Structure 1
């Protein structure tokens, strides 16, 4: 089939993908699904510059744009820019284009009943912001396009993928003592995460000043609004505080990973790293990061671009023997699903019970034997789940089976779009 075999396009859809690397990935995949469902032409998504991520990268600097367009050509028209006859109608000013403000998790029928008529009328609509603007549950035709976009069409750009593959190879070389196998740990203890959590760690004056300053820089008064009450103790008991490097080390040692374990640590710049990382490095002397695996010169093209750095971490974690997530978020959300997709529905993933961890860490009377017994049980529970099927309201990006894995990617009954 060629693009010429697709029905005439109903118009152009332009979305602005907000957030970091994997939140943008959500936007891209959902945009492909919506465009295909509405038989619209998708303009390569624009990445919104975020005050926290501060990454000006364009789509083609993160992903292989040519591969993306080619992979989708039989299902969704994708163009890298709008034709002049369209932009001329709006004086080449995107702010003049009608912008749909769509509620989060809107069902696909909303796009059919509300967005499609406007698309017919205008021939071009803009949706900003677009992250999480499509319900997890959708008809097979929509889910199939999400799968195609996420697992086939989205491939990192050549500079990122080439360097990321070399990091994987180096990590395996450093893990020779373990037959090339390594454990990847996603640690979220960067300053912005620590600040946003509103948790208290060492509670010293320096930490208090640093966190207050970080919150003001990133969120400008959000945390100091009149009437807002922050309860760090309740946040911790509810398992919402990011794990410290020390806590991660204790958890892993309790789970049976000894000091000969090869660890890859996926993270941004750790808060107060010289102090906070010391115990983790002492417990796991074979720990590596992208900064230790590569020279400053090699990292230079990626260093000041948070999404490109995250893409490197994503790739190394994807190929690990075990993946350990220590905090919620889009990175483990996508990575867990991607690993399930690659490895037949299940791969070794440890997602600790952080509520239980908080109780254990805060218990001054607990002994090592009791703690270790709890950790081994937690690890066993994570590893023993087997193939997990997507349930209603689960994300297809975390649970790709059955929609993405347990039937052929293209079938006649899912090819047609109900919105046409």
Structure 2
């Protein structure tokens, strides 16, 4: 999703910047105040680095098995896989020939199937696929669904929070969302909470 958004991302490798620019084509990223406003509204997908940071702040164990339901051109993936080492993708599950011959819609269907049948689902964006997965998981009674709070992440980082202070703020924001019933959350992540 990062490559197809018009969001501005700092600190990416040159290879990632080139891949993002190629995927965007004629669409140029927002800059200046527009970029800041869009990001602070939580409209920008999270990068793998940002996702790993938030998962750590929520005390998601580093040995958790993660199926990454994403497009083929995942950039900066090592920001996630260097911390969460049990990450698998479509291309690692299928033989090279099977993966190569699989159509884009079939790949999306595989992501959807795995996502609705997983023990838990974590969304780094709230696009159409995420909405369909969340709805089907709720229908099936699979309530361990978490939407990472992109707005709070952007707000806290724009305030200059980082490190442990940022992690504590993110954990509190996600816990507050869970307690207040805003969105869905993984109750196991908030085991310290009591009514």
TM-score normalised according to structure 1 size: 0.39
- Choose the corresponding residue for 1:339, options 137, 142, 146: 137
Other structure's SS at 1:266 match? coil
Aligned residues: 183
Q: Which residue number corresponds to residue 352 of structure 1?
A: 148
**Residue 200 (structure 1) aligned with residue 9 (structure 2):** yes
Q: Which residue number corresponds to residue 53 of structure 2?
A: 250
Q: Which residue number corresponds to residue 308 of structure 1?
A: 106
**Residue 368 (structure 1) aligned with residue 171 (structure 2):** no
Q: CA 1:201–1:270 in 2, change beyond 3 Å: closer, same or farther? A: farther
Q: CA 1:383–1:312 in 2, change beyond 3 Å: closer, same or farther? A: farther
- Choose the corresponding residue for 2:69, options 258, 266, 283: 266
Q: CA 1:296–1:248 in 2, change beyond 3 Å: closer, same or farther? A: same
| 1:65-96 deviation per Cα after TM superposition (whole angstroms, max 9, x unaligned) | xxxxxxxxxxxxxxxxxxxxxxxxxxxxxxxx
Other structure's SS at 1:350 match? strand
1:298 deviation in Å? Answer: 3.3
Contact kept? 1:321, 1:348, Cα under 8 Å = yes
Q: Which residue number corresponds to residue 172 of structure 1?
A: none
- Which consecutive unaligned segments of at least 5 residues does structure 2 have? 185-195
For 1:379 and 1:322, locate their aligned partners in 2 and report how far apart those are by CA, in whole Å: 17
Contact kept? 1:263, 1:288, Cα under 8 Å = yes
1:328 deviation in Å? Answer: 2.0
Contact kept? 1:256, 1:376, Cα under 8 Å = no
1:354 deviation in Å? Answer: 1.3
Q: CA 1:281–1:208 in 2, change beyond 3 Å: closer, same or farther? A: closer
Summarize the alignment of residues 35-46 of structure 1 with structure 2, pairs less than 5 Å apart.
none
1:284 deviation in Å? Answer: 0.5
- Which consecutive unaligned segments of at least 5 residues does structure 1 have? 1-187, 389-420
Summarize the alignment of residues 57-206 of structure 1 with structure 2, pairs less than 5 Å apart.
188-189=1-2, 191=3, 193=4, 196-202=5-11
Contact kept? 1:348, 1:383, Cα under 8 Å = no
Q: CA 1:256–1:203 in 2, change beyond 3 Å: closer, same or farther? A: closer
For 2:67 and 2:10, locate their aligned partners in 1 and report how far apart those are by CA, in whole Å: 24
Q: Which residue number corresponds to residue 291 of structure 1?
A: 91
1:202 deviation in Å? Answer: 2.8
1:382 deviation in Å? Answer: 4.1
Q: CA 1:213–1:287 in 2, change beyond 3 Å: closer, same or farther? A: closer
For 1:278 and 1:266, locate their aligned partners in 2 and report how far apart those are by CA, in whole Å: 16
Other structure's SS at 1:197 match? coil
For 1:336 and 1:288, locate their aligned partners in 2 and report how far apart those are by CA, in whole Å: 21
